[in-house]
Amino acid sequence: MNTAQFIPIFASVVAAATPLAYAAFGELVTERAGILNLGVEGMMLVGAIAGFAVASQTGSLSLGFAAAILAGILLSLIFAVLTLTLQTNQVATGLALTLFGVGLSAFVGRSYVGMSLNGLPKLDIPVLGDIPFVGPLLFHFDIVVYGSLALLFALQWFFGRSYWGLVVRAIGESPASAHAIGYPVIRIRYLSILFGGAMSGLAGAYLSLAITPMWVEGMTAGRGWIALALVVFATWKPMRVLLGAYLFGGVTILQFYGQGMGVHVPSEILSMLPYVVTIFVLVLISRNPKTILLNQPMSLGQSFYPHS
Amino acid sequence: MPNLERRAQPSMVMMFASPVIAAVCMLITGYLLFTLLGKEPLHAFWVFFIKPLTTAYGIGEWLLKATPLILCGLGLAIGFRASVFNIGAEGQLTIGAIAAGGVGLYFNGVNAPWILPLMMLAGIVGGMLWAAIPALLRTRFNTSEILVSLMLVYVAQLLLGFLVQGPWRDPDGFNFPQTKMFTESEMLPLLMEGLRTNISFILALLLVAASWFYSHKMFAGFRMQVSGLAPAAARYAGFSEKRNVWLALLISGGMAGLAGMGEITGPIGQLQPVISPGYGFAAIIVAYVGRLHPLGVLLASLLMSLLYLGGETAQMELGLPSAVTGLFQGLLLFYLLAADIFINFRIKTRKRPLEQAEPVKPALSEELT
Amino acid sequence: MNTSIPVTHPRLELRGITKIYPSVIANENVDLIVRPGEIHAVLGENGAGKSTLMKIIYGVTKPDAGEMLWENREVTIESPAAARRMGIGMVFQHFSLFETLTVAENISLALDTAIPPAELAKRISEVSMEYGLPVDPHRLVHSMSVGERQRVEIVRCLLNDPRLLIMDEPTSVLTPQAVLKLFDTLRRLASEGCSILYISHKLDEIQALCDSATILRSGRVTGTTSPKQETRESLAQMMIGRELPECQMDASTPGETRLLINHLSLSTIDPFGTTLKDINLEVRGGEMVGIAGISGNGQKELLAALSGEQPAMQDDVTQICGVAAGKLNPAQRRKLGLRFVPEERLGRGAVPALSLALNAMLTNNDSSMVRHGLISYQAVRSFARDVIDKFNVKCGGDKALAGSLSGGNLQKFIVGREIMLAPKVMIVAQPTWGVDVGAAQLIRQALIELRNQGVAVLVVSEELEELFMICDRIAVIADGRLSPAVPTAQTSVEQIGLWMSGEFKHDAESSQNESEVAHA
């Protein structure tokens, strides 16, 4: 493979990885606080259509992304009210959120089917972008891609060094203890769910505004679920989330380049790859129960209601 | 935060009332939504919920669409009671259809009475095998059955797509991605001339009864319920967790496979790239709205089926997007989950005077410490 | 009223505190006065409302009525953080520590001012040295014993310079020797002017340590007194309204070996669990053997290995009535005559969301209850009703949900269910944990009856007093190892206490001989 081939392939791997990374980062924060939100797929879809609708109405991609984030937050707010305030089962409520998101996005998106707009432009970084090979390889992405790296460092710092990161981890381990020593468990869980929603919304909008700037019903095609699997695969560590996202980005891209590279396998079979690989890595990581027990937030998925 | 307090005992009234409350809330939202879309809400309601049932044909369609929901919903409910979350019924349904369809295509033209039962068996086994993958991975490698079963939905759909576009495509089908039509002996017998409802609806009703018997009269059903409610108690009692997972997934997979077989040998009559408008996912809602109880599943299926049918009618008559169906279905589950809180909690009104409160029972230490 | 303490402003005064839960009045019109530098006991049996009262003082729970005065000023304590700012510290019975975090991280979470990590570690070391509470700030909590964890909780409070320290049942996780050390620390704190609220249901401790006591029964104050001037009997009278019941137990001659544990070693999948190392024990028919020990020393793992919830790799490490059973599952072991009452009642011994009748079927599903795979609801219900009658379970009948019963009544139901099934070997974990005195007496007596009928009974308990009351022989589990079982009459609380900290390897030899002599 020469550089002329490599650079576009690398670029599309990064593009495919970015929404996965955002959604998984968001879910990581939610899960670190002890909440399992299976609604990522639904929030991404609603983010995708909200972003596309607002961007095509206003002509502003920034407003589109902002709308997507807002939509993700609103959707996750429903989840938060149900699971935190009304004490519903997190698994059932997450499934409901996904099913609702699928329905809502299809409903709202019906009038946007077939439209297209100009996707998110790549940044032109002076000097750095002009370096041969390295410039086009690393410095010709859009701002959301660089944002995902910034988010990685922010999360590393948050969970590794900051006081509030410690509080979130403590709540994820034992909400009862955190409540007993006086932390507002419910409020912090609300915030962590809303952060997850915002990131899922953004991830969805990246699909409909950057990768393929249009709206197609169900366009996330399971990426929300893959993001959930990524969090497990990453054993709840931000750095590994990003690595995992790039791995999956690579697998997703295989189906587009496989044909060109002379692999004679039907496209449907190649398209199965991301899903099959997801199952494979899940098996790999959960094979040893200790890996999960040691890394999974201990209260994950359990309801907590402070007695007052 | 609302002022909630835990009830001493879960409210039986609310157990039954909350699905009704959820349905009413959904209707209210629908009223607002129709108004917002500029439709006369009462007329829209009539078109959506009443009109489809004013003809015999409509009622036939209603029961026809309810059938796969009942089948998938019954299986999922049994699994959910045991806390085994198979959310890939859509994939098992697809594989069931592929397996049954494969048998049908292989024996295409052989008019024999054993073909249909064989296809049915293939459908059930196909669904079971597809569900056996998450069961195996969960019991052997502790892998989440939620994610695995869901991933396999996409794999199953891509496999179906591959088959109908490639090896199984009807050579005389003008290049449409579909297989040959099944012959008469490969189709489920109709219940009545002029309706599309077939005997799979009767089969579904029988399975409602069987499922009730299994989960309420049989010790095996009790074992699964205990596993779902309190896994540690199940271990203490010596109920095998592996058996629990396998049973839950095989039963729900088999039922979904049967539903898939019923679709292609019923209303569709061949294999196509898409054979279900999301029955396998809607069945998750059916199972919960039906309180994980077989009779509840039956009623919830009828309601959900009406939503499908109403969506189609509303699209034709009012120009409403049929996606409104999915929206209603999602809302229904949300409202149900929210209404369910009143089973275990009640809204704290005002302090009860002391003398009315029960005397202190000693050793309520779980509550007090 | 206690008049020996000079009249100053009380540090804390409660007036008419009332807290009502839907099913229970936890506190009713409670008054309490704690003076500066005083060690004040709050005495009451399980469920008397002590913990609720402490949570109200620490701002975790809000009272429905009543007022609180802190150093003569009326206050409302909005949160634990507010309580800490005022100078109130609390050591919880079930610790509020985070296992996956280090000691320093845990402590920093409960400090109201941010201290740089390096300085915090230094201050933790200083305080822990000063008060004889050694802790390493950099260790992860899950690697620590319960005793060490308690020290972390205390150090965490001390770093906030408390003027009132609440200790909720602190001695249940300590050896008798460690209890004395803790008392020294508490007396030292009191002499420096810190008031201490000491919550307990153990009369001896309160008489040994406390200057004054407020006694609670069923959520109401039944007395305020100076415990050193009272007798055990008079304190018990105030605590439970009658004298402490005693168990009737006569000598018995043990029969053949019913339960044999033979070089049982078992590693655990739980990363925070304890590995069992070469455990040997023999329990004969007609004898009651107790296993003492601080929680977290392998009790959970040993019980799971015996019940079959965590089967072993080899079959002969456990024998039930002469049959090798190491690899059998719980249902198979029940067929051999083994019956087990686990520590966790809700969620393990019983399913909270199911009726008592269905819960009866959990461990009783032989041919009379389940025939051809079908449940005979009639048989199940009548069995459950029998248990309810015979063991005096207070409940709304066999259809009442297990989760609606009080801890004591549910325990009576579970113990009763297992006893009614005619065990040959009975294993009970924490038979009276969190249970009121009346129910505890009934349960202990039922176990003694069982032993008298020739059943081999094994009791695992953290309450030494209880084991000395009902056991023929006592062994100690420490760090996954089991000491020899010595006849109760030939040992003492001090010796068992020493063994609880793992020091039985040296004297193991001699005691082994002693116990064999006793058996001969």
Per-residue pLDDT of C184-239, as tens digits, reads 999 999 999 999 999 988 888 999 999 999 999 989 999 899 999 988 888 888 88
Tell me the mean pLDDT in the region C304-328.
Answer: 93
Identify the top-confidence range among B248-252, C252-256, C393-397. B248-252
Q: Could you tell me the pLDDT band of residue C16, with boundaries at 50, 70 and 90?
A: very high
Chain B positions in Cβ-Cβ contact with residue A228 (cut-off 8 Å): 147
Eight-state DSSP code of residue A83: I
pTM attached to this predicted model: 0.89
Q: Same domain for C332 and C353?
A: no
Q: Same domain for C476 and C494?
A: yes
Residue C6 lies in a domain: no
Q: For residues A84-123, b (16+ Cβ closer than 10 Å) or e, as one string?
A: bbbbbbbbbbbbbbbbbbbbbbbbbbbebeeeebebbebe
Chain B positions in Cβ-Cβ contact with residue C438 (cut-off 8 Å): 362
Question: What is the H or E stretch that residue C497 is in?
Answer: helix C493-500
Q: Same domain for C509 and C371?
A: no
Residue finishing a domain among C422, C451, C477? C422
Q: Same domain for C164 and C260?
A: no
Chain B 165-184, residues with CB within 8 Å of chain A CB atoms: 165-166
Shortest alpha-carbon distance between residue C327 and chain B (Å): 13
Shortest alpha-carbon distance between residue A27 and chain C (Å): 20
Shortest alpha-carbon distance between residue C58 and chain A (Å): 9
| Token representation of residue A21 | 């990374």
CB-based contact A177 C97, cutoff 8 Å? yes
For B369, name the nearest residue in chain C, comparing CA atoms only. C51
Question: ipTM score of the complex?
Answer: 0.90
CB-based contact B363 C308, cutoff 8 Å? no
Q: Same domain for C143 and C227?
A: yes
What is the pLDDT, as a whole number, of residue A267?
83
Cα pseudo-dihedral C307, C313, C317, C318, rounded to 10: 20
Chain C positions in Cβ-Cβ contact with residue B357 (cut-off 8 Å): 20, 25
Category of C434 on φ-ψ map: left (φ > 0), alpha (ψ -120 to 50) or beta: left
Could you tell me the maximum CA-CA distance found in chain A, to the nearest angstrom?
66
Q: What span, in angstroms and rounded, lies between the C-alpha atoms of C368 and C206?
A: 51
What is the pLDDT, as a whole number, of residue B358?
40
Question: Does residue A2 surpass a pLDDT of 80?
Answer: no
Q: Which of C25, C330, C394 sits opposite B357 (nearest CB)?
A: C25
Q: Which residue in B329, B337, B341, B365 has the most chain A C-beta atoms within 10 A of its own C-beta, making it the best mutation to test that interface?
A: B337
What is the pLDDT, as a whole number, of residue A264?
74
Which of helix, strand or coil describes residue A233? helix
CA nearest to B101, candidates B340, B264, B247:
B264
Q: What span, in angstroms and rounded, lies between the C-alpha atoms of C483 and B45?
A: 76
Q: Same domain for C365 and C494?
A: no
Q: How many domains does chain C have?
A: 3
Which of helix, strand or coil describes residue A139? coil
Q: What angle separates helix B145-165 from helix B115-141, to the nearest 10 degrees?
A: 140
pLDDT digits (tens, 9 = 90+) for C492-506: 998 999 999 888 865
CB-based contact A96 B330, cutoff 8 Å? yes
CA nearest to C244, candidates C473, C492, C469:
C469
Count interface pairs B-C at CB distance under 8 A: 150
Q: Which of C62, C81, C100 sits opposite A173 (nearest CB)?
A: C100
What is the pLDDT, as a whole number, of residue A305?
81
Q: Could you tell me the pLDDT band of residue A263, with boundaries at 50, 70 and 90?
A: low
Q: Which of A93, A225, A275 sits opposite B155 (nearest CB)?
A: A275
Q: Same domain for C44 and C79?
A: yes
pLDDT along chain B (369 residues), means of 10: 67 85 90 87 89 92 96 96 95 97 91 92 98 96 94 96 92 87 89 88 97 94 94 94 95 97 94 93 94 94 93 87 86 90 74 40 33
CATH code of the domain in which C54 resides: 3.40.50.300
Chain A 256-285, residues with CB within 8 Å of chain C CB atoms: none
CB-based contact C406 B361, cutoff 8 Å? yes
CB-based contact C309 B235, cutoff 8 Å? yes
Indicate the CATH number of A3-295 among 1.10.1060, 1.10.8, 1.25.40, 1.10.3470: 1.10.3470
Q: What span, in angstroms and rounded, lies between the C-alpha atoms of A248 and A227?
A: 10
Of residues A241 and C48, the one with the higher pLDDT is A241
DSSP per-residue letters across B130-161: HHHHHHHHHHHH---HHHHHHHHHHHHHHHHH
What is the pLDDT, as a whole number, of residue B323?
83
CB-based contact A110 B321, cutoff 8 Å? yes
Per the document, the length of chain A is 308
Q: Which of B158, B165, B331 sits opposite A100 (nearest CB)?
A: B331
| Chains touching chain A, criterion 3+ CB pairs below 8 Å | B, C
Shortest alpha-carbon distance between residue A170 and chain C (Å): 6
Residues of B near C (Cβ–Cβ under 8 Å) read 5-10, 217-220, 222, 225-226, 229-230, 232-233, 235-240, 351-352, 354, 357-369
CB-based contact C62 A308, cutoff 8 Å? yes
Identify the top-confidence range among A61-65, C79-83, C248-252. A61-65
What is the pLDDT, as a whole number, of residue C518?
44
User: CB C74: neighbour CB atoms within 10 A?
Assistant: 10
Q: Same domain for C255 and C278?
A: yes
Q: Same domain for C250 and C362?
A: no
Count interface pairs A-B at CB distance under 8 A: 137
Shortest alpha-carbon distance between residue B324 and chain C (Å): 37
Q: Could you tell me the pLDDT band of residue A259, with boundaries at 50, 70 and 90?
A: low
CB-based contact A177 C101, cutoff 8 Å? no
Residues 6 or more apart whose CB falls under 8 angstroms from that of C445 comprise C247, C248
CB-based contact C354 B229, cutoff 8 Å? yes
Q: What span, in angstroms and rounded, lies between the C-alpha atoms of C135 and C119?
A: 15
Tell me the mean pLDDT in the region A26-55.
Answer: 96
Angle value at C-alpha A115, between A109 and A119, nearest 5 degrees? 105
pLDDT digits (tens, 9 = 90+) for C61-113: 899 999 999 998 999 998 888 999 999 999 987 778 998 899 999 999 988 77
What is the pLDDT, as a whole number, of residue A111?
87
Going by their DSSP bridges, the two strands B345-347 and B4-6 should be labelled as: antiparallel
User: CB A191: neighbour CB atoms within 10 A?
Assistant: 17
CA distances from A62 to A67, A128, A202, A210, B163 (A): 9, 25, 11, 12, 43
Chain C positions in Cβ-Cβ contact with residue B366 (cut-off 8 Å): 346, 407, 434
**Domain span holding position C367:** 345-422
CB-based contact C80 A298, cutoff 8 Å? no
DSSP per-residue letters across C253-266: ---SEEEEEEEEEE
For B334, name the nearest residue in chain A, comparing CA atoms only. A96
Residue C25 lies in a domain: yes
Shortest alpha-carbon distance between residue B232 and chain A (Å): 15
Q: Same domain for C402 and C480?
A: no
Question: Does residue C435 surpass a pLDDT of 90?
Answer: no
Phi, psi (degrees; rounded to nearest 5) at C256: -75, 160
Q: Same domain for C117 and C179?
A: yes
For B164, name the nearest residue in chain A, comparing CA atoms only. A268
Low-confidence winner among A161-175, C280-294, C428-442 (lowest mean pLDDT): C428-442
Tell me the mean pLDDT in the region C121-128.
Answer: 90
User: CB C204: neighbour CB atoms within 10 A?
Assistant: 13
Shortest alpha-carbon distance between residue C211 and chain A (Å): 28
Shortest alpha-carbon distance between residue A183 and chain C (Å): 8
Percent of chain C with pLDDT over 70: 96
Q: Same domain for C201 and C319?
A: no
Chain A positions in Cβ-Cβ contact with residue C83 (cut-off 8 Å): 182
CB-based contact A103 B327, cutoff 8 Å? yes
Tell me the mean pLDDT in the region C462-482.
Answer: 93
Identify the top-confidence range among A62-71, A140-149, B306-315, C144-153. A62-71
Shortest alpha-carbon distance between residue A171 and chain B (Å): 19
CB-based contact A308 C81, cutoff 8 Å? no
What does the domain layout of chain A look like in residue ranges?
Answer: 3-295
Q: Which of C81, C105, C269 sits opposite A289 (nearest CB)?
A: C269
Q: What span, in angstroms and rounded, lies between the C-alpha atoms of C25 and C38?
A: 29
Q: What span, in angstroms and rounded, lies between the C-alpha atoms of B235 and C344?
A: 13
| Token representation of residue B141 | 């490698």
Eight-state DSSP code of residue C16: E
Residue C201 lies in a domain: yes
Shortest alpha-carbon distance between residue B286 and chain C (Å): 23
For B280, name the nearest residue in chain A, comparing CA atoms only. A99
Query: 3-state SS of chain A: helix, strand, coil percent to 5?
Result: 75, 0, 25
CA nearest to B340, candidates A72, A303, C499, C108:
A303
Residue A288 contacts residue B185 (beta carbons within 8 Å): no
Cα pseudo-dihedral B152, B154, B156, B157, rounded to 10: 160
